[in-house]
Amino acid sequence: MITIKTPEEIELMAEAGQLLAKVMRQLKETVKPGLTTQQLDELAEELIISYQARPAFKGYQGFPATLCTSINEQIVHGIPSQRQLVEGDILSLDIGLIYRDFYADMAVTLPIGPVSKEAQRLIQTTKKALRKAIARVKSGKTIGDVSFAVQKHVQADGFQVVRELCGHGVGRQLHEKPDVPNFGYPNKGPLLKEGMVIAIEPMAVLGQPGIEQGPDGFSYQTADKSLSAHFENTVAVTKEGPRILTE
List pLDDT tens digits, range 164-186.
Answer: 999 999 999 999 999 999 999 99
Q: Could you tell me the strand order of the sheet in which 220-222 lies? A: 74-76, 220-222, 211-213
DSSP 101-165: TEEEEEEEEEE-SS--HHHHHHHHHHHHHHHHHHTT--TT-BHHHHHHHHHHHHHHTT-EE-SS-
List pLDDT tens digits, range 31-74.
Answer: 999 999 999 999 999 999 999 999 999 999 999 999 999 999 99
What domains can you pick out in the chain, each with its CATH number? 7-244 (3.90.230.10)
User: Alpha-carbon distance 38 to 162, whole Å?
Assistant: 26
Res. 211: pLDDT tops 90: yes
Res. 227: pLDDT tops 90: yes
Res 151: pLDDT:
98
Q: Which neighbouring-strand residues pair with 237?
A: 242
pLDDT, average across residues 2-25: 98
Could you give phi then psi for residue 37, rounded to 5 degrees? -70, -25
Predicted confidence band at 110 (pLDDT cuts at 50, 70, 90)?
very high
Number of neighbouring beta carbons within 10 Å of residue 21? 18
Res. 238: pLDDT tops 90: yes
Q: Which neighbouring-strand residues pair with 106?
A: 95
Res 209: pLDDT:
87
User: Alpha-carbon distance 179 to 190, whole Å?
Assistant: 9
Res 175: pLDDT:
97
Tell which residue, 192, 195, 201, has the closest CA to residue 137: 192
The angle at the Cα of 153, spanning 152 to 154, to the nearest 5 degrees, equals 95
For the chain, the average pLDDT equals: 97
Percent of the chain with pLDDT over 90: 99
Res. 243: pLDDT tops 90: yes
